[in-house]
Structure 1
Amino acid sequence: MKFCTQLLVGLLIFVGTPRCLAQMPLADTLASKNTRPVSQPAYHLQDVADLVKRWYPRLHITPHDSSTLQEGKRFVLVIPQVGYTLQTRALVAVLVNTPFRMPGANMSSMSGQLSYTQNNQIILTTNSMIWSRDNRFLWTSDWRLMHYPQATYGLGMYTSTDTRVVDMDYSYFRFYQSFLKRLAVNFYGGIGYYLDLHWNIDSYNNVREFTRISRYSAGVQGRSVSSGPAIHLLYDNRQNAINPTGGLYINAVFRANMSVLGSDDTYQSLLLEARKYLHLSPTTDNVLALWSYNAFTLDGDPPFLDLPSTGWDNTGNVGRGFIQGRFRGKNFLYGEAEYRFHITNDRLLGGVVFANAQTVTELGSGKFEKVLPALGGGLRIKMNKISRTNLSVDYGFGMDGSHGLFFNLGEVF
């Protein structure tokens, strides 16, 4: 989930000994076998565990060193946090992340987070991307249970944060699950089941209760359900989804929400997503990352809270520079470019600069009429040099005056 003005207050708590995340030397994890390799550094790589060990030698901290990795063991990162976000105000949270690798497989990752906020929001999320041995199968999940009061700004690109803001108070359960089988080299296909359940929905401002927002009435009061099977196609030749150094990722999900499965309305949606990672020079491991995220309503009327929206992708990262839920519509287009570079030779610190743009269709015309860009930069702190997990802290500026800090464990995309 995306965070603004997030302050890390805990160091890493290591549970067990790091598992052998790869069946290959550490240097091989720095470049994908599907991309042109770059010159490997001759110096010693460092991460936060190395710093803690150096500063507090009496602490029992297991360093992340490939020579100490043993088959059959794993590690867990537990990070307590306090902070402030545009959509939550002050918060306390605990984040748990477990990267690992099956024999002959891509890097897998499971993560979870429990948060409580000043807005009385309770957020429990779990995400996983698990590759089986030799990449024969892929299991993906996105589960969420939330009590989530949040402001909404209406539909389309001509909305404002100053006027006509509607507060929505609701509880939310998300269950997205897909199981994919390898059909060809790096290409997977499978099926899934997707459920979005909102209940106790109250939409109001200081004057009255709303039964329509931007002339849209579906799912703005009471309860809403979107439920249906999905067809999932994926091409992915990245070796490490936590921090890719090369490769191509293409994801397509067709979802058929059906009233027979409990959905309020029968409607179909399509998600098309692509990510590309490029080395601009053979002498550096700096990366230019490109991201396209596009969500379409093919037919029918989704509930208001299930319409494509800023910051409501699976990772909560679409639209850095804008508050979550800032733009919403039946169809959503988004593109982003980010240049990732190292600051210190030991890769402990890195940096990024990024720019993005987004647009949604207007309810009346059904057309894309306005595009709003954002840009910014950030720091990367190496939390684990074996899995290449970074702590990401970015500051983004939206062109409508929006701005703020955004926090992630791992890369934004």
Structure 2
Amino acid sequence: MALLFKIKFKKALIIFGMCLAFVANAQQQGDTIAVKEIEAKQKNVSFIPLPVISSNPTNGFMYGLAPGATWFMGDPTTTSVSSGLGSVIYTTNKQLILTAKTNIFTENDSWNFLGDWRYFITSQPNYGLGTGPSSNQVVDAGFEYEDNMWSAPIDGAQMLEFNYIRFHETAMKRYKDTRLFLGVGYHLDIHSNIQDNLLDLESETPVLTSHYLYNTAHGFSTTGYTMSGVSLSASYDSRDNTTNPYSGRYAYINFRMNPEWLGSDQGSTMLWAEYRDYINLDKNRPRHMLAFWTYASSVTSGNVPYLDLPALGWDQFGKSGRAYTKGRFMGEDLWYAEMEYRVPLQKIKDTFGAVAFVNATSASNRMNDVHLFDHVDIGAGVGLRIMINKKRKTNLTLDYAWGKYGARGFYLGINETF
């Protein structure tokens, strides 16, 4: 394990050095840093075709293209910046990741549209539901599936391979001249071709996984399922910039209903609540700040399939839980919080900055009587910020994070984590 960490850490350092060299070379050629920026001034659009060369615990090393764009759909003095992020990525874990995520404001912020489209051919290690030492107790110690008949214990990750389609669209109308937005949305999640690699029902001592036990207990298929629903949403957004805020706050609540008549395998409801805040520490350097992010998600009625349960790293932009694999912590209820200290590294200019962050996650496991906040698991890390578009305050982000249970990861991205 130590040797593997040294190899991965050396690779991360090589990639980090390549990024810095790329940045230095691009700086000599003008305002564009690290990437080639194409700006159509008459349309007020900034397009950044960011190459992806990075690593994280879920995907291994990632290679591809992650284009980002920002634009204004009206007068910038009265209209918030719109943003879009995409990705076409292949990983050393043989995963294909296609995404398109948007946050669009129409003229004078009359409407706000949130979009999240994904197509994955992917895999994900699974550790059962909940946080803390008892979260995986059903499979860790084996499971009594009949009187005095026990399954084989599982120690460590349970690998799941699957295809995933997500189509989420939310439209919210601004209420008068306030920063309150109210709206509705449609959400579709389809998991198919699920392969539960450790599941073995034929052996003398069967191997029963968390995915299998949960889905069979709640009447879901173990090879694929669909959740389709509509939602009611409300948000409050006073941030000065949606991709890299220096001030303001953001609150969002979404209540999702997944009826069978709309295509869900079973009827259910879910609640998502989120809050972000930004506190300046130096009035002369607004980039010197503390940033806070927290959200909670819960199954409020009915049952949802295993891979649709609230899970770390499955927020809209997939940025929660630095240090951990996607889905490392999941459950019927999940709470997440993060604090990040952001500081400029230059006395006057804002090209380079740094961050230090810590995050915390708690998840429930109702089948095992593990409640929210019974256990909290922590992650922390540091990062470098390189401003590649000063007008839009667009940052290239490079982070390294550590967590419990040997978790760690290197992250390269565009725009702040939150």
Question: TM-score, normalization: structure 1?
Answer: 0.82
Q: Given residue 105 of structure 1, which amino acid in structure 2 is its aligned partner?
A: T
TM-superposed CA distance for 1:235, in Å, is 0.3
Q: Tell me, yes or no, if structure 1 residue 362 matches structure 2 residue 365.
A: yes
Cα separation, partners in 2 of 1:54 and 1:199, compared to 1, 3 Å: closer
Q: Which residue of 2 aligns with 1:293?
A: 295
TM-superposed CA distance for 1:74, in Å, is 2.2
Q: Tell me, yes or no, if structure 1 residue 51 matches structure 2 residue 54.
A: no
Structure 1: which 5+ runs fail to align?
14-46
For the aligned residue pairs, the C-alpha RMSD in angstroms reads 2.8
Mapping of residues 160-239 of structure 1, within 5 Å: 163-184=155-176, 185-205=178-198, 210=208, 212-213=210-211, 215-217=213-215, 221-239=222-240
Distance in 2 separating the partners of 1:216 and 1:107:
43
Distance in 1 separating the partners of 2:170 and 2:30:
43
Distance in 1 separating the partners of 2:371 and 2:38:
54
Q: Which residue of 2 aligns with 1:396?
A: 401
Equivalent residues of 2:211, 2:222 under 8 A apart? no
Q: Which residue of 1 aligns with 2:6?
A: none
Q: Which residue of 2 aligns with 1:34?
A: none
Q: Tell me, yes or no, if structure 1 residue 150 matches structure 2 residue 121.
A: no
Cα separation, partners in 2 of 1:378 and 1:327, compared to 1, 3 Å: same
Indicate the percent of aligned positions where both proteins have the same amino acid. Answer: 29
Distance in 2 separating the partners of 1:266 and 1:205:
29
TM-superposed CA distance for 1:55, in Å, is 11
What's the CA shift string for 1:65-92, capped at 9, x where partnerless? Answer: xxxx844242311122233332122331
Query: Which is further off, 314-323 or 81-90?
Result: 81-90
Distance in 2 separating the partners of 1:167 and 1:63:
41
TM-superposed CA distance for 1:362, in Å, is 2.1
Q: Which residue of 1 aligns with 2:383?
A: 378
Equivalent residues of 1:87, 1:324 under 8 A apart? yes
Equivalent residues of 1:49, 1:63 under 8 A apart? no
TM-superposed CA distance for 1:300, in Å, is 1.3
Distance in 1 separating the partners of 2:371 and 2:379:
21
Equivalent residues of 1:48, 1:382 under 8 A apart? no
- Secondary structure of the structure 2 residue equivalent to 1:232: strand
**4+ runs of 1 displaced by more than 4 Å?**
8-11, 47-50, 61-64, 159-162, 206-212
What's the CA shift string for 1:286-333, capped at 9, x where partnerless? Answer: 121111111011011111001111111111111112222111100001
Q: Tell me, yes or no, if structure 1 residue 78 matches structure 2 residue 49.
A: yes
TM-superposed CA distance for 1:388, in Å, is 0.7
Mapping of residues 19-168 of structure 1, within 5 Å: 51-53=27-29, 70-102=41-73, 103=75, 104-157=78-131, 158=133, 159=135, 163-168=155-160
What's the CA shift string for 1:9-30, capped at 9, x where partnerless? Answer: 689x9xxxxxxxxxxxxxxxxx
Equivalent residues of 2:45, 2:72 under 8 A apart? no
Distance in 2 separating the partners of 1:336 and 1:62:
31
TM-superposed CA distance for 1:201, in Å, is 1.0
- Secondary structure of the structure 2 residue equivalent to 1:75: strand
Equivalent residues of 2:55, 2:409 under 8 A apart? no
Q: Which residue of 2 aligns with 1:24?
A: none
Which structure dedicates a bigger proportion of its chain to helix?
2
Question: TM-score, normalization: structure 2?
Answer: 0.81
Distance in 2 separating the partners of 1:153 and 1:399:
13
- Secondary structure of the structure 2 residue equivalent to 1:134: helix
What's the CA shift string for 1:259-307, capped at 9, x where partnerless? Answer: 1111011110000000001112323211211111110110111110011
What's the CA shift string for 1:96-129, capped at 9, x where partnerless? Answer: 1110112220011011101111222111000001
- Secondary structure of the structure 2 residue equivalent to 1:76: strand
Q: Given residue 117 of structure 2, which amino acid in structure 1 is its aligned partner?
A: W
What's the CA shift string for 1:117-149, capped at 9, x where partnerless? Answer: 122211100000110000111111000011112
- Secondary structure of the structure 2 residue equivalent to 1:216: helix
1:350 paired residue among 350, 353, 370? 353
Equivalent residues of 1:210, 1:220 under 8 A apart? no
Structure 2: which 5+ runs fail to align?
1-10, 141-153, 202-206
Cα separation, partners in 2 of 1:91 and 1:50, compared to 1, 3 Å: closer
- Secondary structure of the structure 1 residue equivalent to 2:27: helix
Cα separation, partners in 2 of 1:404 and 1:77, compared to 1, 3 Å: same
Cα separation, partners in 2 of 1:153 and 1:292, compared to 1, 3 Å: same
